[in-house]
Amino acid sequence: MTRLLATCLLIALTAPAAGAQTTASPADGSQRTTALPARPATGSSNDYIVGAQDVLKVTVYEEPTMSGIYRVDNDGSFQYPMLGRVPAAGLRLRDIEQSLKTKLENGFINRAQVAVDVEQFRSRSVFIVGEVRSPGKYPMTGQMTLIEALAAAGSTTQTASTEVLILRPRDPVTAQPLTPDLVDQANVSRVSLADLQLGRLSENVSLMEGDTIFVPKAEKFFITGQVRTPGAYTYERGLTVLQAISLAGGLTDKGSNRRMKVIRVVKGKKTEVKVDLTDSIQPGDTLVVPQRLL
Report the range of poorest mean pLDDT among 15-24, 109-118, 165-174, 197-206: 15-24
- pLDDT tens string 87-96: 999 999 999 9
Q: Is the pLDDT of residue 8 over 70?
A: no
pLDDT band at residue 114, thresholds of 50, 70 and 90? very high
- pLDDT tens string 192-218: 888 887 888 878 888 988 899 999 999
Distances in Å between the alpha carbon of 9 and those of 13, 28, 147, 229?
6, 25, 6, 32
Q: Is the pLDDT of residue 31 over 60?
A: no
Strands (E), the chain: 55-60, 68-71, 77-80, 84-87, 114-130, 136-140, 163-167, 188-192, 212-215, 220-225, 231-234, 261-266, 269-274, 286-289
Is the CATH number 3.10.560.10 carried by domain 220-289?
Answer: yes
- Between 28 and 87, residue with greater pLDDT: 87
**Superfamily, domain 2-26+126-215:** Outer membrane lipoprotein wza domain like (3.10.560.10)
Is the CATH number 3.30.1950.10 carried by domain 55-120?
Answer: yes
CATH topology agreement for domains 55-120 and 220-289: no
Average pLDDT over residues 6-31: 43
Which among 144, 122, 141 has a CA at the least distance from the CA of 52? 122
Mean pLDDT of the chain: 83
Q: Could you tell me the residue ranges of all domains in the chain?
A: 2-26+126-215, 55-120, 220-289
